Structure 1
Amino acid sequence: MPNYRRADAEGGCYFFTVNTLRRQPFLIDADVRAALREAIESVRTTLPFAIDAWVLLPDHLHCLWTLPPGDADFSARWKLIKTRVTQQCGDRLMRDEYMTARRKEKRQGSLWQHRYWEHQIRDEHDFARHVDYVHWNPVKHGHVKCVADWPYSSFHRYVKAGIYPPDWVGRVNQRLAGDVCQLSRMAMQSQPAEVQGNKVEFGE
């Protein structure tokens, strides 16, 4: 059994799904990607976390983070990240018809859905399954036929580390080979530092 060491990290590993408000398709716009990258890097200077996997789609994102030992305050991190992106891109993307009284009162803008989904990773099997889910997502939603064709993903970092082959899973009409976890037998076999940590990759 491979050693998926990030899954049992002391600080806890979490899977997140974050949606734009009413699924507006702006997340892969160049200015939003730049703002998101800057926001994450800024927040991590005071509230560090490791990025184990990430995918950015037009109207939502999925990611896995590992937090430091004794720290489970991911909500503060997301609040700061969302706020910083709204400050940089909110004027261009403002939708007055989406602005409720509550949003106006709290100056929240019209970019982000209030809530997000979080799941604490239980074990190496759960970690592997969610890493695969993150990387397969652009194909699942019909944006590309091959995982490698989607630029806004940590998949390419995993390929460089030799964990996934460039043609992992194959074409969209090819069935996921048995149990989805079987596809992750390669995941995290190399040193964790090669595939997690500090770089935020959303394409150029």
Structure 2
Amino acid sequence: MPLTPKRKLPRLERHHYRGHAVVFWTVTLENRERGWLGDSFHARFRELILHAAARESLFCPVYCLMPDHLHLMWMGMRRESDQLNAMKFLRTRLEPALGNGRKWQHQAHDHVLREEERKRNAFAKVCFYIIENPVRAELVGSARDWLFHGAVVPGYPELHPLEDGFWGLFWKLYVREREAESPPVRKPPLRS
């Protein structure tokens, strides 16, 4: 019997997850099952999150896989980015890699960052909260010792949030990508 009933969590309207939204996601296994986390799952996760990022124009400055859940931060890079589509894509394709019939909980938990939470220092604080999760769980003494975290920015496979210079380069890439977006098309008013 599941530990939690299958009921829908309150969710914001879809437009909050579209466009340039920044969302902190937590995806938990049903019954908080363990035994699936390893190098092959991590590789499959990185492959699929890269595809989700490319499909929906997203950057993932930080993710952390834990023994019974995962955390990730996504940032929409285009007006047409849709994080709900990306999360559905990721969960659906990643679930078979959990093995032994394991499943995700019915719905991922999310926190859409408000404007004040998106400023660089506040944003970095949330990202370090994610990356320090294994330390708080007493799985490792230092976040650097955990093998299952990183970043996914299409075109930059070696980027890692704990490396020196990461944040400077990340923000440079973020600004460049956002500036590359064409301005919205202005339609002339209809004449009657």
| TMscore range, shorter length | 0.5 to 0.7
State the TM-score, normalizing by the size of structure 2: 0.65
Choose which of 70, 85, 101 in structure 2 pairs with 1:76: 85
Relative to structure 1, the CA distance from residue 49 to residue 27 in structure 2 (aligned partners, 3 Å threshold; closer, same or farther) is farther
Write the distance in 2 (CA, Å) between the matches of 1:191 and 1:84.
Answer: 30
2: CA distance, partners of 1:157 / 1:79: 25
Equivalent residue number for residue 73 of structure 2: 64
Letter in 1 for 2:169: Q
Aligned pair 1:191/2:169, yes or no?
yes
1:46 match: 55
Equivalence for 2:112 = 120
Three-state SS of the structure 1 residue aligned to 2:107 is coil
- Between the aligned partners of 1:31 and 1:154, the Cα distance in structure 2 is 15
Q: How much has 1:121 moved relative to structure 2?
A: 1.8
Post-superposition Cα deviations, 1:17-43, rounded to whole Å, max 9, x if no partner, equal 111111112452233223222222233
Q: Distance in 1 between matches of 2:141 and 2:37?
A: 18
Equivalent residue for 1:131? Answer: 127
Name stretches of at least 5 consecutive residues in structure 2 with no aligned partner.
1-18, 152-158, 175-192
Please provide the CA RMSD for this pair: 2.5
Amino acid at match of 1:130: V
Aligned counterpart in structure 2 of residue 29 of structure 1, from 24, 38, 45: 38
How far does residue 72 in structure 1 lie from its aligned partner after superposition? 5.5
Unaligned regions of 5+ residues in structure 1, if any?
Answer: 1-9, 95-109, 164-187, 197-204
Query: How many pairs align?
Result: 145
Aligned to 1:166: none
Identity of aligned residues (%): 23
Residue in structure 2 matching 1:152, options 126, 134, 148? 148
